[in-house]
Amino acid sequence: MYGYVRPVLKELPQEEQDRFRRVYCGLCHTLGKRHGLAARFILNYDFTFLAILLSEPEESGCLHCFCPANPCRKREALITTPALELAADESVILAYWQLQDGVADHGFWTGLKYRLAARLLRRAYRRAAAWRPEFDQAARCQLETLAELEEQRCASIDRPADAFAQLLAAAAKEAEEGPRRRVLREILYHLGRWIYLADAADDLAKDAARGNYNPLRYRFSCEGGVLDEEEKRQLALTMDHSVHLIESAYELWNFGCWDPILRSTFYIGLFSVAKAVLEGEFQASKSCKDRKTKIGEESK
């Protein structure tokens, strides 16, 4: 997950930008408290978004804490809630397995950074997995399916996307049973599907050059690692369809004070990110540093 899922912060009123920032800082704080300093480095927009989705309709209180990225300034952060704890644990598990995937995908030298990062995150992962065994099991199982599909050079974009979507949908299992959980499951399933496809489109040129598996290379002709206009249209169509299914599900539950942020993400943010990805303009803003500077600027 690389921060694809985000509200359009600059179009939101200041109050909402601050609210988003409080969750971002609150999740960072919770990650640090529960899993140690190393875990704070996995923080990104996608995980913040997961925390918002899992949150209660009302915002809990705030605390002022020091930001390790900017120690001179105190930040307002959401106090730790069960939703933030859940999001933090699930984020650690997802990030750890993603690093393992990186280790498997690369050779000894290029995989070194993944191995090192996974090593740093291992303790946090073990703790998170002990707290959320079902989610860890689901992640493990779906990533195995994904690896098998990669091995077979699966030409369907739906099947590998389904494995990742099921994985993310499993995050809803910890929520209390009832309509909210069903709505969350549907949103997370299609969000997972959308993220997988966005990531595949974003990495297409790189994967084509290195000869790595990417479902788009087998589903479309992808000459020279680039989608032609018709192929882009077809991919945008199926990604947009997932977004519309997210929107239909979203309208069935009241997410309270998070509504402006969620609405901005589902109705505008996802489309603009998909556009940037398909136009090949997203990679440039992908580095962690860029994102952090950006959030700092946007929420000032």
Partner 1 sequence: MNDPYQVLNISRDASDAEVKKAYLELARKYHPDNYHDSPLEDLAQEKMKEINAAYEQITKERSGRASGSSASYGGSYSYGYGYGGSQSYSGSSVFQQIRLAINRGDLTRAEGLLNAISDHNAEWNFLKGTICFRRGWLDEARRYYQTACQMDPNNAEYRQALNYMESGGQTAYQQGGTFGTDCDSGLCGKLCCAYVLCNSFGYGGFRFCCI
Looking at residue 224, the DSSP 8-state letter turns out to be G
Q: Which is nearer to partner 1, 115 or 232 (CB)?
A: 232
The residues, ordered by sequence, that sit 6+ positions from 14 with a Cβ below 8 Å of its Cβ are none
Least Cβ distance, residue 162 to partner 1 (angstroms): 6
The residues, ordered by sequence, that sit 6+ positions from 21 with a Cβ below 8 Å of its Cβ are 75, 76, 295, 299
Radius of gyration of the chain measured on its C-alpha atoms:
18
Residues binding partner 1 (CB under 8 A): 156-159, 162, 165, 179, 182-183, 186, 189-190, 193, 219, 229, 232-234, 236-242, 244-245, 247-249, 251-252, 267-268, 271, 274-275, 278-279
Q: Which two tokens stand for residue 200?
A: 């595949």
Q: Which is nearer to partner 1, 92 or 239 (CB)?
A: 239
Least Cβ distance, residue 253 to partner 1 (angstroms): 8
Q: Which is nearer to partner 1, 107 or 179 (CB)?
A: 179
Least Cβ distance, residue 265 to partner 1 (angstroms): 13
Contact (CB, 8 A) for 102 and 114: yes
Question: Which DSSP string do the residues of 198-219 spell out, in sequence order?
Answer: HHHHHHHHHHHHHT---HHHHH
- Hey, which residues does 74 pair with through a beta bridge? 66
Sign for the CA dihedral angle at 270, 276, 280, 283 comes to negative
Least Cβ distance, residue 288 to partner 1 (angstroms): 25
Amino acid at 61: G
Least Cβ distance, residue 185 to partner 1 (angstroms): 8
Q: Which is nearer to partner 1, 16 or 186 (CB)?
A: 186
Least Cβ distance, residue 168 to partner 1 (angstroms): 12
Task: Please give the distance of CA 267 from its chain centroid, rounded to a whole number.
Answer: 17
Alpha helices in the chain, H assignment, sequence order = 14-35, 37-40, 45-54, 82-105, 112-131, 133-151, 158-169, 179-210, 215-219, 229-250, 259-264, 270-278, 288-298
In this structure, the number of other CB atoms found within 10 A of the CB of residue 293 comes to: 12
Q: Which is nearer to partner 1, 101 or 158 (CB)?
A: 158
Least Cβ distance, residue 69 to partner 1 (angstroms): 32
Q: Which is nearer to partner 1, 123 or 159 (CB)?
A: 159
Q: Which is nearer to partner 1, 95 or 222 (CB)?
A: 222
